[in-house]
Structures are given as C-alpha cells and as structure tokens.
Structure 1
Amino acid sequence: MKIPFLTKKPTVSVIRLQGVIGAGQRGGPALSDAALAPVIERAFRRKKPLAVALAINSPGGSPVQSSLIAARIRRLSEETRVPVYAFVEDMAASGGYWLACAADEIWADESSVLGSIGVISSGFGFADLISRYGIERRVHTAGQSKSMLDPFRPEKPEDIARLNELLLPIHGAFKDYVRARRCNRLDASTDLFTGDVWTGKQAVALGIADGLGHLVPRIQTLYGKDVRLIPYGQRVSPLRRLGLSADDFIEAAERRAIGSQFGLGG
C-alpha cells in the first residue's frame, strides 16, 4: 500500500544557463565553470534525479568557459548515468550552442535562434581619430608581438594573419565538439560551421536540434505528470534581486551587443 505523503515523486533537476558566458571578472554571477560548478554538482547528485534539464538562453561568450562547463555536464552525466536535455529559449548561439551540445537531446521553440558555430574577434580602430587631433601613440615593447592589434595604431597585415592563426584552432575545437556530440544527426549536405544561425524549425531540419518543444510539457511526456522539477541556479545578491547592481546594467549591455548580431538586441 502506498502512503501518499511518503511516496516520493520522480524528480528532474533544472539548471538555468542564462546570459553571456565568461569568467565574471567583476565578481557578480556569470556563466563560468567556477561559478556553476557547485550548481551543476548539486543538480546531478541531489535527490537522485531521473534527468537534468538545461534551460538555455545565451548568445555565447568565452569559448574556454563554454568548453569547461560543457565538459563538466558531460562528466557528471556519465558518472551518475543521468540523461541531459537542453531546452533553448530565445537563443543558444555560439558558446550558448556549445552548452546545448552537452545535452543528449536539444529542444527549441519554433522561433528560437540556434547555431553561430564560429569564432569572432572584434574591436575598434582609433588611429585616424587620434592623428586628426595631433595625438601621437608611443609604445615600447620587449617582444615584437606584444603590441599586436593595438587599436591606436594602424592595423598590420601580419597582425591579422596572426589573429587568424589563433581563431582557426578555436573554431576547429568548436566544430569537433559539435560533430562528436551530434554525430550523424547533422545534415551532411549543408555547411553548418560558417557562423550562420537558424530558427528552431530550421535547426531541427538541419540536425542542429532534435525537436520543437518546451521544458515542462516535454519532461512530463518523458517522465509523467507527477514529475517534480527542481530548479538549481547561482545565488543572487539582494541588490541584484532589487535590480540595483551595476553589474546588471553591464551584463545587459553585453547581451544586447552580442544579441544584436542576430537581430535580437533590445
């Protein structure tokens, strides 16, 4: 005989991965491996979950932090034998898609934006501006590459060539991870590694995602209506809860800047 208040309902852990991925130098919560390590650990090991769901809404960021977080998720999934499902909200682009590939299945909304499997380096050049005002840039280095791509000096072809030598291996690592995780689900007739993005429906057709669906109904379909969803996330300071943290304004600016690449800045 089952006693209702003693019968444990099945549980699924939900980890929210929202925002720009980076090391969080300003000290606030950020999508970094160090900040998320205890969160991910609890999600896999507490209450013996049947699965872990990743609620992803990220335009990307640091490739190293993306790799570290994804590797931690995969390692714990294999150690605990707990499957992982990713659910894309507005976007899983660039590093955000790297995180999504840590899941065994990727689900998205029809209007979600996925992909951007590429690497970018961007900045500004001020050489003409300071020259116009009679300002001279003086730089002295020990090491000929120490001042590579100085924004206050004219761009050099050799600097651009060196930058490409750095970007290409990072892009290669990203492509290798996507291929390893998505395997034969990817559309072999389409070049998916140009940095382009796709909507949810397009992503499913190309094998970038597995289906259209939202977190709660999909998890209930898999594990029943009685399943308990247990959220796990980083602790938020009282100031951030009240919207009074300067970090929030800076992070919002970063999200708009990166999201504007996909027409999603606002």
Structure 2
Amino acid sequence: MDYLLEFLLFLAKTVTVVGGLLVVVTMLTMLGQKAKKLHKGHLEVTKINEHLNQLKESLQHALLDKDTLKKMYKTEKKSEKEKKKEAKGQIKPEKPRVFVIDFHGDLKASAVKSLREEVSAVLALAEKNDEIVIRLESAGGMVHSYGLAASQLARIRSCGIKLTVAVDKVAASGGYMMACTADRIISAPFAVIGSIGVMAQLPNFHKVLKKHDVDVELHTAGEFKRTLTVLGENTDKGREKFKQDIEDTHGLFKQFINDNRHQVDIETVATGEVWYGKKAIELKLVDEIMTSDEYLCKKIENSDVVQVAYVIKKGVTDKFGMAAHSAIDTIVTKWWERLYNNRFFS
C-alpha cells in the first residue's frame, strides 16, 4: 500500500512538472508569434559620413599630442566660422544623397525579403539627383528567386534614380543578373564576374532499386509533368525535354543581360565561364575597377552617404529553432528542390 501511494505521489509530481513546462512553452510560442506579427522588422540607418569622421577623430586622439590637437581644433573652428560668414544670407544647396544597400545572396536569394523593403523605403524618399549603391555579393542560385531580386533593382532604374552596383568579391550567375540592371557596375580587381549559364542535376537510383527487385510507379497528368525522376527509369525523350528546358532558361538569361547591357557581346560571355574584374572590364561586363570602399569615400566629399538596412526581428521561438531550421534547409529544401527539376543560374 505504501509503495502504491509513493508511486501515485511521484506520478502526480511528474504530471505537474510536465504540465508546467508545456504551459511555459505554449506561452513563449504565443508571445513569439504575437511579437512576430507586431514587429516584422525595422529599418536601420547609418550615416557613413559621421562614422568615418568618428574613426578619423579616434585615430587623431591616439596619434597626436594635446597641443597639436588643440591647434587643429582651433583651425577647424576658425575655418567653419569663415564658411558661415560667407554663406550668410545665401541659400545653402542641399547635398545629394547616396543610399547604400547590402545584398548577400544565398542559393534561394533569401535576402530579397529585406531588399524589397529597403528599395521601397529609399524610393519613397530619393530624388532625381540622389544615387543608390548596391554592395552585391552573390554566386547565384535559383532562377525564380534571382529573377525577383533583379526585378527589385529594376524598380530603381524605372523611377529614374541612378543605380550603381559595387562588387567586391563575387557577382556570378544570378548575382550578375542582378548587377546588370545597374547604370554602372564597379568591381574589385579580383572579384569573380560572369557565369552566365544554367545548370540542373539530380541523381537516379533506378538501377540500384531494380537490382533489389524494387518497382517504382510514377503517374502524371501531362506528358512532361515530370521529365526526369530520381527513382524511376528515365527515358531519352525525358532527357531531351529536360535539356530543352535548360536551353530555354539560358536563352531568357541571355536576353535579360542583352536588354540591360547593350555593350556586352552576349554570345562571347554567355558560356558559363567566370572572369576576374580586370578581364571582365575588357569584356564590358563591368565599367570600372574599384572597391566599394574607394567609391564611397569619393562620394563622401560631396554627398551625404547613408546605409539603409531592413532588419527582420527574430522572436524567442525563432532563435531556439535557428540551428534546426538551418539543418533542415540545407538537407531537405536545397536537395529536394534540385530533385524536382528547379533550374539554377550557374
């Protein structure tokens, strides 16, 4: 009897603890979902002019003695007063603004979620004498994803705002598709440019399954609903259609680049090859060899340079699930989207 009472007491404690944990997890989930609905993201603005001035002042304080710093500050104040006197009674012209947006592309061009918000925000404020600089880094990925990303940049040109794309490391495949929408492309000397091609691949386990007497049935409505399969037997007709689809996609890719960069000899560069910046300028894939830092430092002299970033806030549940989501995304999403004949810029 005592044993039964102890067991029931232990069971009650266990149920209480488990129930309490479930309540806490449920509350955290609900709070996370509520916060996600209320705060999808926010815009962060950094004034690069001020940032560089702060760096300059920090270095001056570290290297110069007190007397030299005092003299320097007196000279600067005197210069500012003289400028104010000269400008007194005159209408001060507004400086043009340069809006900087960073795009780091992955296989699915996931950053387009932020890019569309950043472009919308800047276009709501930008004027004709302003400029938008995209610091682009991407080796490409899915056709439809990068098609959308390129369309976001095309919005800028359609509004008559100058668009410059700066490539420090890589703008290949879908990344170059985005870059070619710009009025001007600048590239670091060893940045990777090009890869104007399309690829698609998938494994086939039909022979392995056949060896172990495993049959796979695939039923489709539509002759080319599925051209190649992973488990079933592939046919020459299916392969022919699969290759034709890739060629059609490549044709669209070439046409898009030709429409946006008339100076490029598309048949010469649309081979799937990549070139470093110095060779890319010879092929007219880019307009100038320069890093993004060098370009923006020049702009600071006569413009207000502002970096704009749309940050998507992650809730409690999002943070806990980041590692699992990343693993699933890598193992399942990317893999199976390849298997189901998604086309990739390459």
Per the alignment, residue 233 of structure 2 pairs with 154
Supply the AA of the counterpart residue of 2:284: G
Q: Secondary structure at the match of 1:208?
A: coil
Distance in 2, matches of 1:56 and 1:125, equals 36
**Aligned partner (choices 118, 131, 144) of residue 197 of structure 2:** 118
Query: Highest relative contact order (Cα 8 Å, sep 6+), 1 or 2?
Result: 2
Q: Secondary structure at the match of 1:111?
A: coil
Distance in 2, matches of 1:197 and 1:221, equals 29
Is 1:41–1:76's contact at 8 Å kept on the other side of the alignment? no
Per the alignment, residue 152 of structure 2 pairs with 72
**Aligned partner (choices 11, 21, 30) of residue 97 of structure 2:** 11
Per the alignment, residue 221 of structure 1 pairs with 298
- Cα distance 1:9–1:249, how it changes in 2: closer, same or farther (>3 A)? farther
- Cα distance 1:182–1:145, how it changes in 2: closer, same or farther (>3 A)? closer
Q: Secondary structure at the match of 1:207?
A: coil
Distance apart, 1:38 and its partner CA: 1.9
**Aligned partner (choices 280, 285, 294) of residue 208 of structure 1:** 285
Q: Which runs of 5+ in 2 are unaligned?
A: 1-83, 339-344
Deviations 1:83-118 (A, max 9, x none): 111111321111110000111111112221111111
Q: Secondary structure at the match of 2:101?
A: strand
Q: Indicate the larger mover: 61-70 or 81-90.
A: 61-70
Distance apart, 1:148 and its partner CA: 2.4
Distance apart, 1:196 and its partner CA: 0.9
- Cα distance 1:72–1:141, how it changes in 2: closer, same or farther (>3 A)? closer
Supply the AA of the counterpart residue of 1:59: A
The alignment of Structure 1 onto Structure 2 pairs a total of residues equal to: 245
- Cα distance 1:13–1:125, how it changes in 2: closer, same or farther (>3 A)? same
Distance apart, 1:65 and its partner CA: 3.0
Higher helix share: 2
Per the alignment, residue 268 of structure 2 pairs with 191
- Tell me, yes or no, if structure 1 residue 176 matches structure 2 residue 218: no
Distance in 2, matches of 1:147 and 1:172, equals 21
- Cα distance 1:225–1:76, how it changes in 2: closer, same or farther (>3 A)? closer
Supply the AA of the counterpart residue of 2:301: G
Distance apart, 1:67 and its partner CA: 2.6
Q: Secondary structure at the match of 1:125?
A: coil
Q: Which runs of 5+ in 1 are unaligned?
A: 24-29
Compute the RMSD of aligned alpha carbons. Answer: 3.3
Per the alignment, residue 56 of structure 1 pairs with 136
TM-score (norm 2): 0.61
Distance apart, 1:249 and its partner CA: 5.1
Deviations 1:215-244 (A, max 9, x none): 232133246265323222442526788994
- Cα distance 1:187–1:142, how it changes in 2: closer, same or farther (>3 A)? closer
